[in-house]
Amino acid sequence: MHSYKFSAYLLSLSLVSYLILILFLDFKLEIFSGLITPLLGSLFSSNMVYKIFHHYPKKLTSFMIQSFFLKIFLYGFILILIFNFSSFNQAVFFISFIGYFIVFHLIEALFIKYIFNKGSRNFG
């Protein structure tokens, strides 16, 4: 599976889950705000892992470590901004953020595992 196809699946999953949630809950901004940051982080890192693995495999571990710390820093910064300067329901945002964070990172881990398994067969 190419990274663009994975991105399309992840975006589709995001859209469908968002639409389902806003049908039953009246917190559109909170849910969207909790969705967008983990989504962008997962899309960026999964596409970069795919490209680096295929072009510069020796640099992949270094990238993944740097990406981890960058995402933790950015997530922390965004959470601080939201909790200090937002006027919406922070509990709903936090639940949305944590839920999407977990789901997107699990899906991203499965995609990376798929890349590694497929790549090791090509090199072996």
Please determine, for residue 88, whether its predicted confidence score (pLDDT) is greater than 50.
yes
Lowest mean pLDDT among 47-51, 89-93, 115-119, 120-124: 120-124
Using only the alpha carbons of the chain, give its radius of gyration.
16
Please determine, for residue 123, whether its predicted confidence score (pLDDT) is greater than 50.
no
What is the rounded (10 degree) CA torsion for 77, 80, 86, 91? 120
Query: Over the stretch 13-69, which tens digit does the pLDDT of each residue have?
Result: 999 999 999 999 999 999 999 999 999 999 999 999 999 998 998 999 999 999 999
Determine the Cα–Cα distance for residues 8 and 114; give it in Å rounded to an integer. 16
For the chain, domain boundaries: 3-123
Where does the pLDDT of residue 124 fall: very low under 50, low under 70, confident under 90, or very high at 90 and above?
very low
Q: What is the mean pLDDT of the chain?
A: 90
* Segment holding 37, helix H or strand E: helix 28-55
Residues 98-124, mean pLDDT to the nearest whole number: 84
